[in-house]
Amino acid sequence: MEAKQDSVVSIHYVLRDTDGEIIDQSSEGQPLAYLHGHGNIVPGLEKAIEGHAQGEEVKATVDPEEGYGPYREELVQKVSRDAFQGVDELAPGMSFRAESDAGPMIVTVKEVEGEEVTVDGNHVLAGQTLDFTVNIEEVREASSEEIEHGHVHDGSTHG
């Protein structure tokens, strides 16, 4: 069976930056399972996997527009330290869930200067070209419930 709309695809992957450094990879013996055609993985990788079957290897270079998007300077903002009430220590690299005009988003602290904190709402991989090597472990038909919910069910209880 080939990866297509409404199929569950289980993959092992290695993600590298353009210098060949590993950014992320699936854990050995724990493939990533996703519902194909439902936006569960970056669009460029999903397009590259389309039509491939179990046992195949797919190599894909994904540009920012088909990955995590371009880096947007307007998502870098200075906010008051008061926005982090209940957090004793703030340091660069810390991430927080924040409410924005566009809904909830994850922001990363870039800099702390006195009562002013610089946060970045860009995905950590925004603006980067991504090099994937994917091995397709399994492709199966999705259940009607998985299709209805828009994601893979792993057999555990689901609410």
CATH of 7-68+126-149, one of 3.40.50.720, 3.10.50.40, 3.20.20.140, 3.30.300.30: 3.10.50.40
Paired tokens of 33: 């399972």
| Tens digits of residue pLDDT in 104-134 | 889 999 999 999 999 999 999 999 999 999 9
Q: Is the pTM of this model over 0.85?
A: no
For residue 99, pLDDT over 90 is answered with: no
Every domain of the chain with CATH number 2.40.10.330 lies at: 73-120
**What is d(CA 149, CA 159) in angstroms, rounded to the nearest whole number?**
10
Q: DSSP secondary structure string, 53-92? A: BTT-EEEEEE-GGGTT----GGGEEEEEGGGGTT-S---T
CATH 3.10.50.40: which residues of the chain? 7-68+126-149
Q: Spelled out in words, what is the top-level CATH class assigned to the domain 73-120?
A: mainly beta
- The span from the CA of 141 to the CA of 98, in Å, is 36
Tokens encoding 143: 């259940």
